Amino acid sequence: MSESDEHQTEIPDPKVRAAGGTEYSWCRAVPGGTGITVLSLVLCKYPDISRIEAALSRLQVSHPILRSRIHFDAPCNTFYFLTPCNPHVKIQSFDLQSTSHILQSFSDDSHIDPNQILLEHELNRNSWSRNDDDDGGGADQADRDVFFVSLYTISETRWLLVFRLHTSACDRAAAVGLLRELLEMVGGERAEMAEETETGNEEKQVGIEDLIPSGKANKSLWVRGVDLLGYSLNSFRLANLNFIDADSARHSQVVRLKMNQSDTHRLVAGCKSRGIKLCGALAAAGLIAARSTKPLPDHQTEKYAVITLTDCRSILEPALSSNHFGFYHSAILNTHDVTARDYVWELASRCYTSFSNAKNNNKHFTDMSDLNFLMCKAIDNPGLTPSSSMRTAFISIFEDPVIDESNKLHQEIGLVDYVGCSSVHGIGPTIAVFDTIRDGCLDCACVYPAPLHSREQMQELIESMKRILADGIISLQSNS
C-alpha cells in the first residue's frame, strides 16, 4: 500500500493548518539535519509497552500536534500540518541482537557508553530528509509524522526508550512536558484517571507569530533593513572554533558537562549574587574556552556570536501554559569581543546584560522574522557561511535551565538517566547547550556537528569550560 493510500484510509478528515514563520524555518532546517529533537530515557526495568503506547495515544489526543504530519506543498513553497482525528503511535522495538548490531556499526567509538551511541544514532535518524526512507514513505513528497518512538535493548537489565520529534512540534519546554505527562500516566495516579479530561479541551494549534502581543513586533522597514544588513555583515567577521573537517558529510554528536551538587550550588549562587542568570556564565565559559584555543596575542579580540533561546509561552497573547506543545521559543543573537584576558564573571555579566537589554527592547519579537529569514537564506546558500560550515553562532543556550527534582515516578518506571537535546548538523551553532539542573546537579548535553569538530576537540572544550567555571567559583569565594 502506498503512503497516500494509507493516508486516505487512516485519515479521513485531517485538520489542515499552514505552518507559521518560525515553524516554516524549522521545516526548512530539519531536512538538512538541524532540529531533530530526541529525549532518551535509560530504564532498568523492562517497560510495559502496551501501557506506554496507551499513554502515548492519550498524549496524542490532548496534544494534537503530536499526531500531525508535515506536508510540503511544492508549488506554493508552503508547509502544512495535517492533523488526523485519531491518535496513531507505534513503538519500534529493537531486541538485543538488532541493538548490538547498531552499536557495532559505531565500532570506532567503542569506548563510548552504549546509551550515548544510541542517543547520537537517534539524533541522526532523519525521517524528514527528502531521500531518507528509514521510517517508510520514501517518496519525495510524502507526508511525514512529527513523532517517533523507539525502544532499544542494551542488556538484560538495560533499555533505552527514545522519543524523536520534529522541532517545529516540540521545543525543549514541550519535551519536558512530554516526559512529565508520560511519567504521570505510566507510573502515577493519572493512569487511572478517566478519559473525560482528554476530550473537549484539545490544545489549540497556532504558530508563535499569531500570538505576539500587539505592537511588540513593529519595526519600520528601514530599521529592519539596517538590522538585516548588520546581522549578515557581522556573520562574516565572526570567530569560531577551528574546523577539523569542513568537507565531509556531517552528523550530530554529544558531550555532557556535569557538575556535582556543591559546585552547582555555588555557581548558581554566584550568578544570583551578580544579578545574572546561569546562561550568562555558561556562555562566558564557552567563549573564554574557545578563545583560549587560539594562538593569538592575549589582548587581541575575537568576535563570537551567542544565541539565547527564550521560552515565550508566558508572555504571548494569550499566554500559553508551560506545557503547550509546539515551538514557542524565540532567539536573541548577541556578539561579544573576547580576549584571552577576559574574566569569566565580567564576561558573564556582559553576556547576560546584552541579552536582557535586547529582551527588554522586545528583540525576541521584533527580530524573529529577520532571524528566520537569515536562517533560510543560509540554508539555500551555505557559501554565505565560513567554509560552508553553516555555523550561525558559536554557542546557543537557553535563558533558563530545566529544573528537575527527581520524584518517585522515576523509580516506578525504572528511569535511571535521561537526556534531551536536538541535532545541529545542518544549520546552527557550533555548540548547542541543553542545560538541566537535576537534583541540584548541573547536567548539560552539548551537541555539535562532527566531523566539522572532533570529539576530542569538543571534550577538551567542555573540560576547559568546566575548569573556567570552577575557577570562577573559587575566586568568588575568596573575594567575599
Q: Which positions touch ligand NAG (CB under 6 A)?
A: 215, 218, 260, 262-263, 470
What is the C-alpha separation between 422 and 209, in angstroms, rounded?
A: 22
Q: How far apart are the first and last CA of the chain?
A: 71
Burial class (CB in 10 A: 0-12, 13-18, 19+), 153: middle
> Which lies closer to ligand NAG via its Cβ, residue 386 or residue 440?
440
Q: Shortest gap between Cβ of 105 and ligand NAG (angstroms)? A: 34
> Which lies closer to ligand NAG via its Cβ, residue 334 or residue 436?
436
> Which lies closer to ligand NAG via its Cβ, residue 58 or residue 363?
363
Q: Shortest gap between Cβ of 216 and ligand NAG (angstroms)? A: 8
Q: Shortest gap between Cβ of 259 and ligand NAG (angstroms)? A: 7
What is the C-alpha separation between 362 and 217, in angstroms, rounded?
A: 8
> Which lies closer to ligand NAG via its Cβ, residue 51 or residue 265?
265
Q: Shortest gap between Cβ of 361 and ligand NAG (angstroms)? A: 12
Q: What residues contact residue 459 under an 8 Å CB cut-off, 6+ apart?
A: 255
> Which lies closer to ligand NAG via its Cβ, residue 112 or residue 470?
470
Q: Shortest gap between Cβ of 467 and ligand NAG (angstroms)? A: 9
> Which lies closer to ligand NAG via its Cβ, residue 180 or residue 256?
256
> Which lies closer to ligand NAG via its Cβ, residue 88 or residue 256?
256
Cell 569581543 -> residue: 337
> Which lies closer to ligand NAG via its Cβ, residue 225 or residue 275?
225
**CA quadruple 443, 449, 452, 454: dihedral sign:** positive
Q: Shortest gap between Cβ of 330 and ligand NAG (angstroms)? A: 18
Q: Shortest gap between Cβ of 356 and ligand NAG (angstroms)? A: 21
Q: Shortest gap between Cβ of 261 and ligand NAG (angstroms)? A: 7
